[in-house]
Amino acid sequence: MPELEQAHKLDQASKLDQALAEVAAEMADRTDRGDVASYIPQLGKVDPKKFGIAAVTNDGRVLTAGDADQAFSIQSISKVFTLTLALGNVGDALWQRVGREPSGNPFNSIVQLEHENGIPRNPFINAGAIVISDILLAGHQPREAIGEILRFIQFLADDETIIIDREVAASERATGYRNFALANYMKSFGNLHAPELALGVYFHHCAIAMSCRQLALAGRFLANGGKNPATGHSVVSAERARRIGAMMLTCGHYDGSGDFAFRVGIPGKSGVGGGILGIVPGVASLAVWSPGLNANGNSKLGSIALEKLARMMNWSIFAP
Ligand code: DON
């Protein structure tokens, strides 16, 4: 690599390292942390003071600050990976059973489903992700589909220690009346084969536990045109990586997606465990975690941290 280019990269890396430390220090001091999700009882036990952030750059640096190595429940962030897998299995036929428009409604809303004949608006709202689980099942046993999802995420992060938190999965199943309602309702329209089994898969992939470091590593193919930048191996085509990014930007934060795009300017996917995966195409994969949520069910400080970081680094998909 030419000397000047190398010096520039080093400069950017130390700027990013400093920016992460600054953001983490600022977030540690804040008292307005939002409320930890308690509708899944097991998630309500998490310490709201936690804050972690990680960045994996396309040139191979892994930079972290705060509680970046502590595992948390990735919840809906898993939907990025199940969508990727399902597209790999059935291709564009997937879009016959799930839409790709922002919902403008909460993630567990049921109202739109009636108007739209049981076809969920997008793969990231709960109903859409339950259909994706049904697609991944396709004749398999739930434990096979769950194993496939977990192994895919372990492969992306290059980390076999990633596990499913069975207590979180059981906690969600015991209280998941809305998700059961969504699944049964879609079955009545013929858009689900096996509600009970699809929910089993869904609850388990939402209960995958990962740290910010592991999550940012798992997301790096999306920042690098579909290829793992460490190995050069293709995970998805460049076109598919762009399209998954488009879904994240428009639907990744539910009825808060417009606000996240406005404030942060990069594709992102949130989870009620307080994590957010953010993608800076061509540059880096980011993960942040702060368990307290805002009114839309997205990490309150996580969104603020990404907004600050993007501003400090001049990151935006709309930047010239
Ligand atoms: O189905 C649920 O309600 C959860 N397993 C996932 C929801 C979620 O993460 C929404 N994200 N902000």
Write out pLDDT tens, residues 171-189.
999 999 999 999 999 999 9
Give yes or no: 272 in active site. yes
pLDDT at 4: 82
Q: Could you tell me whether strands 62-66 and 72-73 are parallel, antiparallel, or unpaired per DSSP bridges?
A: unpaired
pTM: 0.97
Task: Report how far ligand 1's centroid is from the alpha carbon of 268 (Å).
Answer: 15
CA-273 nearest atom, ligand 1: 9
Instruction: Identify any residues that bridge with 164 across adjacent strands, giving them in sequence order.
Output: 208
Q: How far is the CA of 14 from the centre of ligand 1 (A)?
A: 35
Residues having CB within 6 Å of any atom of ligand 1: 75-76, 107-108, 126, 172, 179, 206, 270-272, 297-298
Between the CA of 138 and the centroid of ligand 1 the distance, in Å, is 23
At position 208, the amino acid (one-letter code) is I
Residues of the chain with pLDDT under 70: none
Q: Is 177 a catalytic residue?
A: no
CB 191 within 8 A of CB 118: yes
| Nearest ligand 1 atom, CA 253 | 12
Q: Can you tell me the distance from the alpha carbon of 101 to that of 126, in angstroms, rounded to the nearest whole number?
A: 14
**Burial grade of 23 (CB within 10 A; 0-12, 13-18, 19 or more):** buried
254 is catalytic: yes
* Residues 116/127, Cβ–Cβ less than 8 Å: no
Nearest ligand 1 atom to the CA of 293 is 12
Res 6: pLDDT = 81
Distance, in Å, from the CA atom of 313 to the CA atom of 320, rounded to the nearest integer, reads: 14
Cα dihedral 267/23/212/204 (nearest 10): -70
Q: Which of 50, 79, 269, 300 is catalytic?
A: 79
Residue 55 φ/ψ, nearest 5 degrees? -135, 130
- In Å, what is the CA distance from 166 to each residue of 75, 206, 213, 271? 13, 10, 21, 17
For residue 280, the surrounding DSSP H or E stretch is: strand 275-280
Q: Per the residue annotation, which of 103, 131, 254, 285 is the catalytic one?
A: 254
So what's the pLDDT on residue 267?
98
Q: How far is residue 245 CA from its own chain's centroid?
A: 11
**Ligand 1 probe mutation, 81, 103, 105, 108, most atoms within 8 A of CB:** 108
Angle between helices 78-90 and 142-157 (to 10 degrees): 110
Spatial neighbors of 155 by CB under 8 A, at least 6 apart, are none
What atom of ligand 1 comes closest to residue 179's alpha carbon?
1
